[in-house]
Amino acid sequence: MNAIHRLCLVLGDQLSFDLASLKGLDTERDTVLLVEVMEEASHVPHHPQKITLIFSAMRHFAKALQQQGIRVQYVALDDPQNTGSVPSELRRWESLMQPDELHMTECGDWRLEQSLKDCGLQIQWHVDTRFLCTRAEFSSWAKDKKQLRMEFFYREMRRKSGLLINGDGSPVGGAWNFDAENRKALPKGVIAPYPARFSADSITQEVLALVGERFSSHYGSLDAFDYPVTHVDAQALWDYFLDYGLAGFGDYQDAMASDEPFLFHARISAALNIGLLDVRQLCSDVESAYLSGRIALNAAEGFIRQLIGWREYVRGVYWLKMPDYASGNVFGNSRPLPEFYWTGETTINCMRQAIGQSLKHAYAHHIQRLMVTGNFALLAGIAPSQVCEWYLAIYMDAFDWVELPNTLGMVMHADGGYLGSKPYCASGQYIKRMSDYCRGCAYKVSESTTDDACPFNSLYWHFLMRHSTILRSNQRMGMVYKNLERMPESKQQALWQRGQTLLAKLDAGESL
């Protein structure tokens, strides 16, 4: 029998039964500790649904561990002894239980991991094996590369996992990436399935009441909470998507539609990020769906790329570059985040739709985050730290390792192009092509310089003009700058002027 008494601290995003630090637990002598703490719930104003998800999933996980005979100490938020932070709770329990060893799996947040490393306790750290690529493997892949590219990393992950790989090592279908087929707008008459919903059991109801009372000042509504909080329900969400959503994922991955918050997206990111789903199993299910002829290759490859390409890549960049990465601001932006990001009160219809559903469901899909709210923040020159705080707070799936590189790198290009080769900037024409938002908008997407012109149009050119010193030399921006040069001087001036007017309104605290 194991003679060592271990205390294993499990965080709210580590709710996996096969978590590295939980391996080999001795049910007689070891204890698992889970703590709900105010510091983690409020260091940014997290959406109340996100706090509900995490606390409820933690409580369900603790119960499931106990049912397996494992000893668990659970500290609820309103426990009078609760000291309010993860390190202080670990210190308290270490002193109460006097374990021989403290065990943890590496964190998803640099700030928290650092504070635990600095808290004066000797912790035995375990590599987070829930990811395909370890921090060390990523750093060795990135070594000596001036610029990283997701596409090359993704190919490595395909080879490593064997997903959609032929016997001779070549990619199934003869290409690594079928993204060009994944850019269709939603045609009339195509109806997307609403993802599976889950009603609140007594544990979740208790948490909803607690969160409603303690976090009423945070933005976002609790009313629509219908998310899975157990492994079984998360699996049901996934199974439903496999049956009804995945086939449409490829074609309509980039589409947006009014009052359609989810379209053909899986809505699994939050469950996956906290450990209720397993990335290898998800990818294997998608591959099987393709091999059995249930879905097309562009849907299967596209989905697998998001999981073993983008998801692992952004995590690798985060751990490679933190803590300096968080302060990147290559354009020197300092404009405060407009208030309407927190309220949705704007006449810009695409923003109202994307922000409105984010407040209601703590969810927006990738293109809404990238090409609507993110694009606006980039074009309007908002301070990256404030944009990052908003994304971290508002989305149910937001954890620092995944939110920060997506926002600061992919959206704001604030890392100078380390993560992505060019900024994802676009005018209103892109939003018009990929959605029906412009039809219900107070602004005209066909206009650029009039008082009722789509704000994205002039702000797009304003952005390119104001940052030409940095961006003109980027080969991938060459065509755009050629178009700008060909534009008559008077048009350029009118665009600049309209952009100035819009930015002045933001600076005056007015909504658009």
CA proximity to 71, closest of 10, 136, 1: 10
**Contact call for residues 58 and 211 (beta carbons, < 8 A):** no
Contact flag: residue 307 with ligand FAD (CB under 6 A): yes
Number of residues this chain uses to bind ligand SF4 (CB under 6 A) = 14
CA proximity to 195, closest of 229, 236, 232, 159: 236
Contact flag: residue 441 with ligand FAD (CB under 6 A): no
Partner that binds at residue 308, options ligand SF4, ligand FAD, none, CB closer than 5 to 8 Å by kind: none
Partner that binds at residue 178, options ligand SF4, ligand FAD, none, CB closer than 5 to 8 Å by kind: none
Q: Record the tokens describing residue 435, joined without a space.
A: 């959605």
Nearest-approach distance from CB 453 to ligand SF4, in angstroms:
8
Residues 6+ apart with CB under 8 A from 472: 481
- Member of 282, 289, 350, 378 binding ligand SF4 (CB under 6 A): 350
Partner that binds at residue 341, options ligand SF4, ligand FAD, none, CB closer than 5 to 8 Å by kind: none
Nearest-approach distance from CB 207 to ligand FAD, in angstroms:
21
Instruction: Rank residues 258 and 284 by Cβ distance to ligand SF4 and give the closer one.
Output: 258
Instruction: Rank residues 272 and 289 by Cβ distance to ligand FAD and give the closer one.
Output: 272
Partner that binds at residue 306, options ligand SF4, ligand FAD, none, CB closer than 5 to 8 Å by kind: ligand FAD
Contact flag: residue 438 with ligand SF4 (CB under 6 A): yes
From 116-124, 431-439, 472-480, 487-495, span contacting ligand SF4 (CB under 6 A): 431-439
**Contact call for residues 72 and 82 (beta carbons, < 8 A):** no
Residue 466 burial (C-beta neighbours within 10 Å; 0-12, 13-18, 19+): middle
Q: Record the tokens describing residue 378, joined without a space.
A: 């980039």
Contact flag: residue 273 with ligand FAD (CB under 6 A): yes
CA dihedral sign, ordered 333, 334, 339, 345: negative
Helix (H) or strand (E) holding 8: strand 6-9
φ, ψ of residue 8 in degrees (nearest 5): -110, 115
Ranges of beta strands (E only) in 380-439 are: none
Nearest-approach distance from CB 383 to ligand SF4, in angstroms:
22
Size of the chain in residues: 512
Nearest-approach distance from CB 508 to ligand SF4, in angstroms:
19
Ranges of beta strands (E only) in 95-227 are: 101-105, 123-126
Partner that binds at residue 349, options ligand SF4, ligand FAD, none, CB closer than 5 to 8 Å by kind: ligand SF4
**Contact call for residues 455 and 409 (beta carbons, < 8 A):** no
Q: Record the tokens describing residue 86, joined without a space.
A: 């993860």
Pairing of strands 31-35, 123-126: unpaired
**CA gap 450, 173 in Å, rounded:** 48
**Contact call for residues 409 and 314 (beta carbons, < 8 A):** yes
Q: Record the tokens describing residue 306, joined without a space.
A: 């998001």
Instruction: Rank residues 303 and 463 by Cβ distance to ligand FAD and give the closer one.
Output: 303
Partner that binds at residue 414, options ligand SF4, ligand FAD, none, CB closer than 5 to 8 Å by kind: none
Partner that binds at residue 314, options ligand SF4, ligand FAD, none, CB closer than 5 to 8 Å by kind: ligand FAD
Say which amino acid occupies 214.
R
Partner that binds at residue 410, options ligand SF4, ligand FAD, none, CB closer than 5 to 8 Å by kind: ligand FAD
- Member of 229, 454, 477, 503 binding ligand SF4 (CB under 6 A): 454
Residue 111 burial (C-beta neighbours within 10 Å; 0-12, 13-18, 19+): middle
Binding mask 347-366 toward ligand FAD (x if CB under 6 A, else -) reads ------------------xx
Contact flag: residue 432 with ligand SF4 (CB under 6 A): yes
Pairing of strands 6-9, 123-126: unpaired
Contact flag: residue 50 with ligand FAD (CB under 6 A): no
- Member of 21, 204, 346, 349 binding ligand SF4 (CB under 6 A): 349
| CA 273-88-126 angle, 5° bins | 45
Nearest-approach distance from CB 408 to ligand FAD, in angstroms:
9
Report DSSP state, residue 181.
G
Contact flag: residue 311 with ligand FAD (CB under 6 A): yes
Partner that binds at residue 348, options ligand SF4, ligand FAD, none, CB closer than 5 to 8 Å by kind: ligand SF4
Partner that binds at residue 453, options ligand SF4, ligand FAD, none, CB closer than 5 to 8 Å by kind: none
Instruction: Rank residues 374 and 428 by Cβ distance to ligand SF4 and give the closer one.
Output: 428
Starting at the edge strand that comes first in sequence, how are the strands of the sheet with 31-35 ordered?
71-75, 31-35, 6-9, 101-105, 123-126
Q: Record the tokens describing residue 356, joined without a space.
A: 């409105």
- Member of 348, 377, 393, 503 binding ligand SF4 (CB under 6 A): 348
**CA gap 410, 414 in Å, rounded:** 8
Binding site for ligand SF4 (CB under 6 A): 348-350, 428, 431-432, 437-438, 441, 443, 445, 454-456
Binding site for ligand FAD (CB under 6 A): 265-269, 272-273, 303, 306-307, 310-311, 314, 365-366, 369-370, 374, 391, 395, 397-398, 402-403, 406-407, 410-411
